[in-house]
Homo-oligomer: A and B are copies of this chain.
Amino acid sequence: MPGLGDIGEFGLIERIRARQREYDADVVIGIGDDCAVLRRGNILEVLTTDCLVEGTHYQPGWLSMEDVGWKSMAVNVSDVAAMGAVPRHAVITLFIPERVTPEDIDDLYEGIEACAAEAGVGLVGGDIVKIAGPFAVSITLSGTCERDDLVLRSGAREGDIVVVTGTLGDAAAGMEHIRAGREPAGPAGEYSIARFRRPVPRHRESRIIVEKLQPTSMIDISDGLISDLWHILEMSKGGVSLCGEAVPVGGGVLDLVGGDRGAALALAIKGGEDYELLFTVDGKRAEALDEVAAEIGLGLTAIGKIASKKTGFVLAADGVESEIGRGGFDHFKSPAEESKEV
């Protein structure tokens, strides 16, 4: 009998997804995007859930309780932002082992509330439970959205420009610093560590991107550029031609790999947890990228173009074209571990 390690996380998700019955008429999107989308009277609601588990998403000492609080909220806000929706209300479940003190919970809430306040999220309920196991936080976040603003993973069309916000690989580099117990050499390294501990969800930027660029598809980069771009390709039934030289590699990544551009690119396209937005726009609208980037105060970089499905996923770097597989991080199979949205 195969264990979960054999079929992997994506295998398990497929197994669960394959069970899916028909949805009722109020389900616009069920399993398969950053959030579910539900009709609620005359508006749309998006709903997502994401958790942070000690020993799985981070090791003891990697994050303060305040960091855990911030990050557990931020990853959910990021999912709502990826739909073009406005984050609204959250319920929070805490799994609390014996050793945790009330002061730890206060610290956790400082972090949760800081991120919630920043994103306009109201904390409206939850559950607390004792656990003979690791500390864990599970948050379910709702958002609301006008129909015209909703952006799915499935709308990318051949010829659309692939755009990413900010820089990539920072969080992965930061985690490497923390894992190795290394003091970063300078501000780029410190920024990397901050990106891992306190990712900044792009919910404000998302609103402006939706309004000004009308993206045809969007996702947040949680598993890594390759893995998350593959989600768009699968849902949009397309392929992609990516320009390696264009990928905005984080400064901390170059620091970490001693300036080796190839190694830095590899980390930037495979490393997860940056929580930047990845989206596609019509070629004409892409002309406004610089203007919108200036407005949101964050880089918007065109890194490639959507192609036909038979193109697959092609990465051109250093004059060589490589075929890229579905090489996201499948963490039931690999030593690095993370959760996967169903």
Contacts and interface: CB of A to CB of B under 8 A. Distances in A.
Nearest to A89: B38
A325 interface: no
Interface stretch (A127-135, A157-165, A296-304): A127-135
A56 B132 contact: yes
Chain A interface size, under 10 / 10 to 19 / 20 to 34 / 35 or more: 35 or more
A127 B338 CA distance: 10
A89 B103 CA distance: 35
A12 interface: yes
A44 to B, nearest CB: 9
A142 interface: yes
Interface in A163-185: none
Given A51-B129, A133-B134, A98 B4 contact: yes
B42 A128 contact: no
Chain A binding site: helix, strand, loop or mixed by DSSP?
mixed
A127 B51 contact: yes
Contacts of A24: 88, 120, 122
B95 A53 contact: yes
A93 B45 contact: no
Interface string A8-28: 010111011001110110110
Interface of A: 1-5, 7, 9, 11-13, 15-16, 19-21, 23-24, 26-27, 30-31, 35-36, 38, 40-43, 45, 47-51, 53, 55-57, 88-89, 91-93, 95-96, 98-103, 105-106, 109, 113, 117, 120, 122-134, 136, 138, 140, 142, 144, 331-332, 337-342
Cβ-closest 9 pairs across A and B = A133-B133, A129-B339, A36-B124, A40-B40, A41-B43, A41-B41, A140-B140, A126-B342, A41-B42
